[in-house]
Amino acid sequence: MKAAYYNGNKEFKLTAGTEVAPGQGEVKIKVAYCGICGTDQHIFHGVMDKRVSIPQVIGHEASGVVVEIGSGVDNVKVGDKVVVRPLNWCGECPTCEAGNSHICTSLKFMGIDSIGAFQEYWTVKARILHKCPDNISLKTAALIEPLAVACHDLRRGRLKAGEYAVILGGGPIGLLIAMAAREAGAKVIISEINEYRLKLAVDMGFETFNPLQGDIKAHVMAATANTGADVVFEVTASAPGAAIMTELLRPRGRIVLVGIYSQPQTINLFNFFWKELEMIGARVYEPEDFDQAVKLTAEGKLPLEDIISGVYNLTEIQQAFESFEGNSTAMKVLVQCEQN
Ligand SMILES: [Zn+2]
Ligand SMILES: [Zn+2]
């Protein structure tokens, strides 16, 4: 089988991979599609070389079909269409025992800390598979992992119908949060500075705002009878995002922190005191978030495919990653791992 190995220095090597027979509790899946995440782009740029074991197959936003099951597997069978929740938790630490295995203190993220999905076959634990109904295409199913991130963000933020949500950042995750929030009955505005991303959001029917061209606080206040937003989703991981997020909220409003900040930030803590704000961290997803993402996808009401900006064959994975370079308009790029 073919497998794409990240080789360091912005380079993939396509070579023969090793098919692994599923052991107890394991399943071999024929990978159909795997999306390229922002994290994968960070790996490509070499900033995560300490976490990956070069050369390594990466990739974690996978859809596929079960082709072989090991002993003791009863949640899926051969032929099932599945998506992978790419987490490996210890099951024994206090965090796992408290029921929060998705943030296990020794969590391993598959496709970063261990072998991933940019290959034809991937052997994984059965406990992380979620079945997809037949009406979901394998291509669309590759968006379920990032949609599960969005579902987790909404759930952490306790977003309700009728609430006003500001989404700072209109990349793939920001747009998926926007889609799920709109479907949940919330009023949504997306703040973004990239004109291409703004246009895409507008084409999807969202209200948008470019904070480089106007005062976003004034805009949000005018839209909420001078009260402020109920929830802000911070997805930019930028200093301006951290600086503005407390300004946009009503008293007792909530911030959901989605962006992955690598540096400490300046945040207006007086606003937390004065308005009794809440800030809620949101990292990856729990099983129910995947279930919700599968359900939303099966219902077909979200314009998920609109964020797919390119599909490349596994043999073209180098071009797929390079499509994000420079002044790129790439949003969600999928790699088709299934070879005909
Ligand atoms: Zn991802
Ligand atoms: Zn644990």
Q: Is residue 237 over pLDDT 90?
A: yes
Rounded Cα–Cα distance for residues 70 and 78 (Å)? 11
Put simply, whether the predicted model's pTM sits higher than 0.85 gets the answer yes
Query: What is the residue-averaged pLDDT of the chain?
Result: 98
- Residue 82 and residue 125 in contact, taking contact as beta carbons nearer than 8 Å: no
Q: Is 170 exposed, middle or buried (0-12, 13-18, 19+ CB in 10 A)?
A: buried
Residue 84's pLDDT band (boundaries 50, 70, 90)?
Answer: very high
Q: What is the rounded average pLDDT of the residues 201-210?
A: 98
Q: What is the whole-number distance in angstroms between the Cα of residue 60 and the centre of ligand 1?
A: 6
CATH 3.40.50.720 fits 149-281, yes or no: yes
243 CA to centre of ligand 1 in angstroms:
26
Closest ligand to C-alpha of residue 42 is: 1
Residue 327: is its pLDDT beyond 90? no
Query: How do residues 100-127 score in pLDDT, each as one tens digit?
Result: 999 999 999 999 999 999 999 999 999 9
pLDDT for the residue 93: 98
pLDDT in tens, 188-204: 999 999 999 999 999 99
Asked about 39 being catalytic, the answer comes back as yes
Rounded to the nearest angstrom, the distance between the alpha carbon of 137 and the centre of ligand 2 is 33
Tokens of 253: 């409003």
Could you read off the pLDDT of 137-152 as tens digits, one per residue? Answer: 999 999 999 999 999 9
User: What is the 8-class DSSP label of residue 37?
Assistant: P
Q: How confident is the model at residue 315 (pLDDT cuts 50, 70, 90)?
A: very high
| R_g of the chain, CA atoms, integer Å | 20
* pLDDT for residue 202: 98
Predicted pLDDT of residue 59 = 98
Q: What residues are neighbours of ligand 1 (ion), with CB under 5 Å?
A: 37
Q: Are 189 and 207 in contact (CB under 8 A)?
A: yes
Identify the active-site residue in 18, 42, 208, 227: 42
Report the alpha-carbon distance of residue 70 to residue 123 in Å, rounded: 10
Ligand in nearest proximity to the CA of 88: 2
User: Which pLDDT band, with edges at 50, 70 and 90, does 340 fall under?
Assistant: confident
301: pLDDT strictly greater than 90: yes
Q: Residues 295, 132: contact at Cβ < 8 Å?
A: no
Of 119, 58, 38, nearest in space to 314 by CA: 119
What pLDDT sits at residue 212?
Answer: 98
Catalytic residue among 15, 18, 39, 266: 39
CA distances from 80 to 65, 94, 111, 131, 288 (A): 6, 34, 22, 7, 19
Does 224 qualify as catalytic in the annotation?
Answer: no
Domain regions of the chain by residue span: 2-142+303-336, 149-281
Q: How far is the CA of 211 from the centre of ligand 1 (A)?
A: 26
Nearest ligand to residue 95 Cα: 2
Instruction: Calculate mean pLDDT across residues 291-302.
Output: 98
How far away, in angstroms, is 162 Cα from ligand 1 center? 29
134 has pLDDT over 80: yes
Q: With contact defined as beta carbons under 8 Å apart, do 173 and 149 qualify?
A: yes
Per CATH, the number for 2-142+303-336 is 3.90.180.10
The number of the ligand nearest the C-alpha atom of 111 reads 1
